[in-house]
Amino acid sequence: MMLFPAQAVAAAQASPVLASPGIPNSQEQLIQVSLALAMVVALIYAVAWFIKRKQGVHGLSNIPMKTLGVLPMGVKEKIILVEVGGKQILLGMTASNINTLATFDEPIVEEKSNNVGSFSQKLKDILQQQNKNSDTKKVSHEDNA
């Protein structure tokens, strides 16, 4: 079928013309890249938070160290009871310093004890026992002199 020239022009005008791909807008590309980067960073933070909540940071290492208790003493000061290699260590922690307060060869606080009482009460009892022991040693040394 042969079209007449008027019909051919009308058919050509009616047929959709394929648009050539336009030059991408640099502002749109910047927004897309920024959003993609923000999503990746948010995903990394979400995965890190989940791992920390699920098994904790200490779960990823093979160091046999556990925090048994923390007693806040002020805004930036606290006393921490840590178990390392079967020994329990009492640490004093400030914003700029960590000091060993006492080292216990025998466990003073069991990890899974169901005893009634708070960590602070147990700590007070232990420190009172140590003070009594040191006082009796001082008295015995003075008697020997």
> Are 69 and 49 within one domain?
no
**Higher pLDDT among residues 125 and 31, named by residue:** 31
Please give the Cα distance from 126 to 132 (Å, whole number): 10
Q: Tens of pLDDT along 12-43?
A: 565 555 555 666 778 888 999 999 999 999 99
Tell me what pLDDT residue 84 has: 87
> Are 96 and 41 within one domain?
no
Residue 18 included in any domain: no
Q: Tens of pLDDT along 85-103?
A: 888 999 999 999 999 999 9
Residue 90 included in any domain: yes
Q: In the structure, what pLDDT confidence band is assigned to residue 11 with cuts at 50, 70 and 90?
A: low
> Are 58 and 43 within one domain?
yes
Question: What is the DSSP track for 97-132?
Answer: -EEEEEEESS-SS-TT---SS-HHHHHHHHHHHHHH
Number of domains in the chain: 2
Residue 7 included in any domain: no
8-state DSSP, 28: H
**Higher pLDDT among residues 20 and 109, named by residue:** 109
Is residue 82 within 8 Å of residue 102, measured between CB atoms?
no
Residue 15 included in any domain: no
CA-to-CA separations, 78 to 6, 72, 92, 127, 142, in angstroms, rounded: 93, 4, 6, 16, 35
> Are 82 and 96 within one domain?
yes
Please give the Cα distance from 46 to 49 (Å, whole number): 5
> Are 36 and 91 within one domain?
no
Tell me what pLDDT residue 77 has: 92
Residue 92 included in any domain: yes
Phi/psi zone of residue 101: left (φ > 0), alpha (ψ -120 to 50 degrees), beta? alpha
- pLDDT, the chain, mean: 77
Q: Residue 47 is part of which domain span?
A: 30-62
Residue 24 included in any domain: no
Residue 47 included in any domain: yes
> Are 76 and 35 within one domain?
no
> Are 120 and 68 within one domain?
yes
Q: Tens of pLDDT along 69-79?
A: 889 988 889 99
Q: In the structure, what pLDDT confidence band is assigned to residue 115 with cuts at 50, 70 and 90?
A: low
Residue 98 included in any domain: yes
> Are 96 and 35 within one domain?
no
Tell me what pLDDT residue 94 has: 92
Nearest by Cα to 69 from 82, 57, 85: 82
